[in-house]
Amino acid sequence: MELLLNKEKQVVVVPRKTTRRKKIMRNWELYLFVLPCLLWFIVFKYVPMYGIQLAFKQYIPTEGIWGSPWIGFQHFTRFFESYQFWTLIKNTLSLSLWAFIFTFPVPIIVALLLNQLTSERYKKFVQTVIYAPHFISTVVLVGILFVFLSPTSGIVNHLIVLFGGEPILFMARPEWFKPLYVISGLWQETGWATIIYLAALAGVSPALHEAAIMDGANKWQRIWHVDIPGIRPTIVILLILAIGNIMNIGFEKAYLMQTDLNKSASAIIPTYVYEIGLQRAQYSFAAAIGLFNSVINLIMLLLVNRIVRKLGGNSLW
């Protein structure tokens, strides 16, 4: 309930539900804009959650999800005791950490450098060039990797041979899987990821830069003391979201880059779920592994968000 003063300056108790209803009616246009997004999440994110029960059942197609028998945590125990468990965890975490360490800070650096360009034509040209790879599909990107890195006809190996080296089987050697995955992702997504940082930099007041120039600050000092503090809330929010998805490494590119020879490094949880669930039709077991992966991500998200909130930063809630 809320306390309001009427014209006679008497305290009037207004029910909270009535106040909330009035606020909604006053801003009904804004809620109408939110409605399609809300419906999308309900239909495609929350309704399918009823399938989570597959992880605790022995799914029988003829019986359906509701008719299949409950078996508790047997699928989770089977996964934890599997000889592949630690290999999958190690590969998934190492690939995610590699990708995070290199792909998270680079867009920030690129956005800061682009923001310092004085020529608008050159700035737009650079943005167009670095944005373009984002629109290349993952299938085409991996195809380019196979063509360029081919041991017989690839341009990279031709250059290696030209300088006296031996051809390298890039797509067959496990030690090359992670570098190729990260470098290709860096090339494809860096430009697109700079957009949100450039938008945040546009909100930094020019008066702060003018005051810094009056105090004798050079460009690097203005970047460090004006630009970076100005976009720090954006960086923190994106950092929390990135850590919350630390186990959700991209399935498509990892699966397309996977070969029989590099599988010791390319076997990760998403590709294993695809192999178990769709290729071997072990739907309940695959659902259990996917649920385990999601729970780890949720725990990481809550933990990092709590740490940031305790430190006084900009948390998600």
* pLDDT at residue number 12: 47
Tell me how long the chain is.
317
Name the more confident of 267 and 20: 267
Give per-residue pLDDT as tens, 36-95.
999 999 999 888 888 888 899 998 888 888 888 999 899 999 999 998 899 999 999 999
Give dist(CA 253, CA 142) in Å, integer: 7
Give per-residue pLDDT as tens, 215-239.
888 888 999 989 999 999 899 889 8
177 pLDDT exceeds 90? Answer: yes
Give per-residue pLDDT as tens, 84-109.
899 999 999 999 999 999 889 999 99
Model confidence, pTM: 0.83
* pLDDT at residue number 6: 47
- Mean pLDDT, the chain, as a whole number? 87
Give dist(CA 155, CA 161) in Å, integer: 10
* pLDDT at residue number 279: 87
